[in-house]
Structure 1
Amino acid sequence: MTSALNNLSDVGVSVWLDTLSRDRIVSGGLADLINNNCVVGVTTNPTIFSNAISQGAAYESQIADLATRGVTAEEAVRTITATDVRDAADILHPVFAASPNGQNGRVSIEVDPRFAYNTAATVAEAKYLAWLVDRPNIYIKIPATEAGLPAITEAIAQGISVNVTLIFSLDRYQQVADAYLSGLEKARSAGLDLSGISSVASLFVSRMDTAIDKRLDALAAPETRAYRGKAAVANARLAYQAFEDAFSGERWERLHRAGANKQRPLWASTGVKDTAYEADKYIVGLIAPDSVSTMPEATLLAVGTQEIDTTDSVHGTYAQARADLDAIERLGIPYAEVVHQLETEGVEMFQASWSALIETLETRLGPPSSGRG
């Protein structure tokens, strides 16, 4: 089962699991995936936690304790999610310790998505979550909104490792890389050890095809079929080109000599949404060194049971990727409009999941007690 996943690791692709739950932790399921499927990291988001907590009986004891203490639903959300992330980080710590500069073996936890357009609140939340989880091998997830960019710089400047999430556009990807480099420069000026600061930039993949394909289908023209399922991979490949550009040259070399780590591109949302596409479409199409491929468990197992070509599928494709995106634009589908819509919808989706999670916990905690704040 592990041959294809081992091969991905051999060519410099880190495989991370895109889900987490208390059941997976306590049952040993997470440890099994790490040991048997080459998983070297875990990502979470508000939707993942909303699904896990609303369905999982494994949370009952902790929720009962929190209810007895009279905590608010918001405090309960942070306590419960931090517990899962802390426990998963402990399971992954041997991977972290064995990874150069601790680049792998990490678990992500997201700031309250309601702060997506509030820089100061995002920074404060990042600092609080780093303190609350209190593990060296975590990433604090910050959304790549305009307000998120200075928050990324400030978090990095304070030595907090960051997973930048909800990236869709190439312009925003470049801005994220610049925000990271600016944070490293501030951290260096403050005398921090740059080798202990890490970051990934999460470009969402399948959602791009979902949005573009829908618009292509609406055009109902024969020539549009040739571009179905091409936008997402093309966009990600050009983001990788931007990654190579950002982490080369004099600015980067100064930071690298001081011990800085590259901000690796992470391919998020790699589960296919269209059954016409192969389950491994966004895995095999985005194989390149210094990248992270996050997979929901179904995709992970599908890749692990197949014989796939794990040679580099990104280098040498930039001209074709640009041609594909340009052709889609010429068909009347505006790139800027699509990526803006995807970012807005992504934030809204995570905010809705967060609100649903709070509502779930308000119900399960019961009526406020006299001790609840």
Structure 2
Amino acid sequence: MEKNNVKRIHDFGQSIWLDFIDRKIMDTGDLQKLIDEDGVRGVTSNPAIFEKAISSSSDYDADIKELSRQEMSNEDIFYSLAVRDIKRAADLFKPVYEEEVKGADGYISLEVSPHLARDTEGTIRQARELWKAVDRENVMIKIPGTAEGLAAIRTCISEGININVTLLFSLDRYETVANAYISGLEDRVRADKPIDHIASVASFFLSRIDVMVDPVLKEKGLDQLYGEVAIASAKKAYEIYKRVFSSDRFKKLEIDGAKPQRLLWASTSSKNPDFPDTKYVEALIGPNTVNTVPMDTVEAFRDHGKAENTLEDGLDKATSTLSQLKEAGIDLDEMTQKLEEEGIEKFNQPYDKLLDAIGQQKKKALASGNS
């Protein structure tokens, strides 16, 4: 029997994580099937995913009713629901986590509140709380890679918390994040604590870059670069990854068992119908990376995706693409900063909608309890 297209990606050293979670996918056995048949090796979640899961089904109603009687805030109720799901998913992926190279994969990610994106201390506090509440070694806490998030990332790594750094768009910020990770490991070594169990990924967002840049390219007559900037940025990010994690600085930590912070490709569904639906997967397959994909993209790749080692193909073209932007007066740094701000807002909106929905259900539950 020929190997599944999605599963073949792992042959090239890349792990596929599912960018989706809800109770139905676990109840029906579909998540286990994705592990067994597609070789899916982890799960990521975010406020939008949980908003959809909780608001569009009745699977959470009984728990919301139960928690509503405990005088909890809407946010506390949400995280109680989320932690239950994350624990369950982490247990499903424990066999992946415990494969021959322990800790290579099998991680489930849970994000701190998007309202904390500009709050260093608040992020650290909630990351600690969520890490303790989930209490699973194969969990990552998601922290946005904002300027304010950098110190939080370093602190949490130094405390032995696995971190998924999210919302990365710019190459400069990515390198700063990689160095924050290394600094956190160094802090931990100085405190005479082990680092061989700590894992982290840096989530570099792709399709949103093209959505913002492509209209500007058309205005400037740079049609040949249409749909190329995100992939070019990702390939250059991988160059940074290889440089940073082959440095003498990191090699000292490897002696104590440190693992590189892998690059993770996020926002990999094609937002433009002109592009192939497997575009951001096929172009960036390569060793020691992760691609987190929504269900539609998993299904598309299973059907017609091509698994080949492509990540380091066309590096000269990637360099040229970014140079041409600069020559045309397109400020990619300015655009990626705007994408970061928009990304925070795009997570705040569904998060607030989710908390409102929980508030409505809480009112109903309390009303029915008092009647």
Category of TM-score, reference length = shorter chain: over 0.9
Offset, 1:316 = 4.7
1:195 aligned partner: 196
Look up the SS of the partner of 1:300 in the other structure.
helix
Offset, 1:301 = 1.1
Distance (Å, rounded) in 2 between the aligned partners of 1:193 and 1:100: 17
CA contact (8 A) 2:143 2:166 kept: yes
Look up the SS of the partner of 2:353 in the other structure.
helix
Matches of residues 161-180 of structure 1 in structure 2 within 5 Å?
A: 161-180=162-181
CA contact (8 A) 2:7 2:37 kept: no
Distance (Å, rounded) in 2 between the aligned partners of 1:59 and 1:356: 16
Offset, 1:194 = 1.0
Offset, 1:4 = 1.9
Offset, 1:266 = 0.2
Offset, 1:328 = 2.2
2:94 aligned partner: 93
Distance (Å, rounded) in 1 between the aligned partners of 2:194 and 2:150: 22
TM-score, normalised to structure 1's length?
A: 0.95
Distance (Å, rounded) in 2 between the aligned partners of 1:272 and 1:316: 20
1:32 aligned partner: 33
Question: What stretches of structure 1 of length at least 5 have no aligned partner?
Answer: none
Distance (Å, rounded) in 2 between the aligned partners of 1:307 and 1:280: 6
Look up the SS of the partner of 2:127 in the other structure.
helix
Offset, 1:287 = 1.1
Query: What are the superposed Cα offsets for residues 164-213 of structure 1, whole Å, 9 maximum, x if unpaired?
Result: 00000000000000000000001111222211100000000110111111
Offset, 1:337 = 1.2
1:361 aligned partner: 358
Matches of residues 20-99 of structure 1 in structure 2 within 5 Å?
A: 20-98=21-99
CA contact (8 A) 1:96 1:104 kept: yes
In structure 2, do the counterparts of structure 1 residues 324 and 99 end up closer, same or farther at CA, with 3 Å as the change threshold?
farther
> RMSD value over aligned CA atoms?
1.7
Distance (Å, rounded) in 2 between the aligned partners of 1:357 and 1:6: 34
2:335 aligned partner: 338
Look up the SS of the partner of 2:304 in the other structure.
coil
Distance (Å, rounded) in 2 between the aligned partners of 1:70 and 1:233: 48
Distance (Å, rounded) in 1 between the aligned partners of 2:313 and 2:299: 29
Look up the SS of the partner of 1:208 in the other structure.
helix
2:210 aligned partner: 209
User: Which residue identity lines up with residue 306 of structure 1 in the other structure?
Assistant: H
User: Which residue identity lines up with residue 133 of structure 1 in the other structure?
Assistant: V
Look up the SS of the partner of 2:102 in the other structure.
helix
1:277 aligned partner: 275
Distance (Å, rounded) in 2 between the aligned partners of 1:204 and 1:281: 14
Offset, 1:368 = 9.2
In structure 2, do the counterparts of structure 1 residues 363 and 307 end up closer, same or farther at CA, with 3 Å as the change threshold?
closer
Offset, 1:367 = 6.5
Look up the SS of the partner of 1:166 in the other structure.
strand
Query: What are the superposed Cα offsets for residues 122-144 of structure 1, whole Å, 9 maximum, x if unpaired?
Result: 01110000011111100000000
Query: How many residues are treated as equivalent by the alignment?
Result: 367
1:112 aligned partner: 113
Look up the SS of the partner of 1:102 in the other structure.
coil
CA contact (8 A) 1:23 1:56 kept: no
Query: What are the superposed Cα offsets for residues 52-101 of structure 1, whole Å, 9 maximum, x if unpaired?
Result: 11102111111111123232211101101111111111111111111523
User: Which residue identity lines up with residue 226 of structure 1 in the other structure?
Assistant: Q
Query: What are the superposed Cα offsets for residues 303-327 of structure 1, whole Å, 9 maximum, x if unpaired?
Result: 112251x332122532221110121
Offset, 1:333 = 2.1
Distance (Å, rounded) in 2 between the aligned partners of 1:296 and 1:203: 15
Distance (Å, rounded) in 1 between the aligned partners of 2:246 and 2:294: 32
2:323 counterpart of 1:326: yes
2:322 counterpart of 1:311: no
Offset, 1:155 = 0.2
Distance (Å, rounded) in 1 between the aligned partners of 2:187 and 2:366: 45
Question: What stretches of structure 2 of length at least 5 have no aligned partner?
Answer: none
In structure 2, do the counterparts of structure 1 residues 277 and 316 end up closer, same or farther at CA, with 3 Å as the change threshold?
closer
Distance (Å, rounded) in 1 between the aligned partners of 2:102 and 2:261: 12
Look up the SS of the partner of 1:366 in the other structure.
helix
Offset, 1:103 = 2.2
2:239 aligned partner: 241
Distance (Å, rounded) in 1 between the aligned partners of 2:240 and 2:316: 13
User: Which residue identity lines up with residue 167 of structure 2 in the other structure?
Assistant: L
Offset, 1:216 = 2.1
Distance (Å, rounded) in 2 between the aligned partners of 1:92 and 1:28: 13
Distance (Å, rounded) in 1 between the aligned partners of 2:72 and 2:366: 9
CA contact (8 A) 1:16 1:293 kept: yes
Offset, 1:5 = 1.8
Distance (Å, rounded) in 1 between the aligned partners of 2:365 and 2:31: 35
Distance (Å, rounded) in 1 between the aligned partners of 2:29 and 2:297: 20
1:121 aligned partner: 122
Distance (Å, rounded) in 2 between the aligned partners of 1:71 and 1:334: 46
Query: What are the superposed Cα offsets for residues 202-236 of structure 1, whole Å, 9 maximum, x if unpaired?
Result: 0001101111112223x1x5x42111100010000
1:150 aligned partner: 151
Distance (Å, rounded) in 2 between the aligned partners of 1:246 and 1:101: 23
Query: What are the superposed Cα offsets for residues 261-318 of structure 1, whole Å, 9 maximum, x if unpaired?
Result: 110000000000001111110111101100001110111111112251x332122532
